[in-house]
């Protein structure tokens, strides 16, 4: 009976140690798996960031080359927009060069834009609403003496923008030249279609800070003649030179 008791006791202790050993092995295995998973995640993060940095560096260099090309062709507006992109995406040597280029080009670009916009304009077609906006589409716009004046009747000003205190600048949604009116972001641009000079106004952000969507899928038209016709039409409210 004594031997039988000892055998039972040994079997019981063996089971106890066996269960604990299994728990220890399971804990060690689980720990090693979690450690491997953590190492893999860290390596994946480093690899992804390295690829992203290399890709970003390639894009920045490409934009730098294009910006220099545009400058050599005196297309300062295209050049400064590329320099702003570089500045936003590179804080090292290229970013510093871009910052210096912007400082040099900005006065030229503002003067160039003002010359393009200067004059008296009459509303030709209103294609969007001026709700939630500080700018109202008046019958006339006059851009002279560093001011943009909106009016329906000569001598009765509806609103006015002083370009000395609120000059054209860059914004990520409007690029350069953009006008910031409190929370609103606007762009003014000109082009000539069939000898008609047009002033186009586009709102990118309304006065409540909401992004304004304006889809332009004209470039996706397959037929070249139809695409050309569509591109000659406007998707923004525009004025014509008086």
Same domain, 5 and 51: yes
Sheet holding 119-125, edge to edge: 156-162, 147-153, 140-144, 119-125, 237-241, 196-205, 184-193, 175-181, 169-171
Confidence bin at 99 (pLDDT 50/70/90): very high
Same domain, 55 and 164: no
184 beta partners: 181
pLDDT at 170 over 60: yes
Higher-confidence position of 162 and 132: 162
pLDDT at residue 78, rounded to an integer: 95
Same domain, 142 and 45: no
d(CA 145, CA 163): 9
pLDDT in tens, 144-161: 999 999 999 998 999 999
pLDDT at residue 130, rounded to an integer: 74
Same domain, 172 and 59: no
pLDDT at residue 39, rounded to an integer: 62
pLDDT in tens, 219-238: 777 777 877 777 777 778 99
pLDDT at residue 44, rounded to an integer: 47
Looking at the structure of the chain, the number of domains it has is 2
Same domain, 108 and 125: no
Same domain, 232 and 126: yes
Residue at which a domain ends, from 97, 112, 127 = 112
For every residue of the chain, which 3-state class applies, written as one string? CHHHHHHHHHHHHHHHHHHHHHHHHHHHHHHHHHHHHHHHHHHHHHHHHHHHHHHHHHHHHHHHHHHHHHHHCCCHHHHHHHHHHHHHHCCCHHHHHHHHHHHHHHHHHHHHHHHHHCEEEEEEECCCCCCCCCCCCCCEEEEECCEEEEEEECCEEEEEEECCCCCCEEECCCEEEEEEECCEEEEEEEEEECCEEEEEEEEEECCCCCECCCCCCHHHCCCHHHHHHHHHCCCCEEEEEC
pLDDT at residue 109, rounded to an integer: 96
pLDDT at residue 38, rounded to an integer: 56
Domain around 62: 1-112
pLDDT at 47 over 60: no
Same domain, 132 and 90: no
Same domain, 102 and 135: no
What integer is the mean pLDDT of 165-194?
93
pLDDT in tens, 51-82: 444 545 688 888 889 999 999 999 999 999 99
Residue at which a domain ends, from 112, 132, 155 = 112
pLDDT at residue 51, rounded to an integer: 43
Residue at which a domain ends, from 112, 147, 181 = 112
């Amino acid at each position: 009976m004594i031997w039988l008791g000892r055998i039972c006791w040994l079997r019981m202790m063996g089971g106890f140690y066996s269960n604990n050993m299994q728990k220890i092995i399971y804990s060690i295995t689980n720990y090693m798996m979690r450690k491997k998973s953590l190492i893999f995640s860290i390596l994946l993060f480093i690899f992804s960031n390295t690829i992203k940095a290399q890709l970003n560096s390639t894009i920045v260099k490409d934009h730098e080359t294009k910006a220099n090309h545009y400058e050599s062709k005196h297309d300062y507006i295209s050049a400064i927009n590329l320099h702003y992109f570089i500045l936003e995406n590179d804080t090292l040597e290229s970013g510093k060069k871009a910052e210096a280029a912007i400082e040099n080009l900005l006065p030229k670009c503002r003067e160039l834009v003002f010359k393009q916009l200067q004059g008296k304009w009459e509303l030709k077609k209103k294609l969007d609403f001026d709700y939630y906006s500080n700018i109202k589409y008046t019958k006339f716009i006059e851009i002279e003496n560093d001011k943009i004046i909106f009016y329906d009747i000569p001598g009765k000003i509806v609103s006015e923008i002083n370009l000395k205190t609120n000059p054209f600048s860059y914004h990520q949604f409007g690029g350069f030249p953009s006008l910031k009116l409190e929370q609103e972001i606007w762009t003014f641009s000109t082009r000539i279609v069939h000898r008609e000079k047009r002033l186009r106004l586009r709102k990118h952000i309304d006065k409540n800070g909401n992004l304004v969507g304006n889809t332009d899928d004209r470039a996706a038209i397959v037929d070249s003649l139809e695409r050309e016709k569509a591109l000659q039409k406007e998707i923004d409210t525009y004025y014509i030179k008086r």
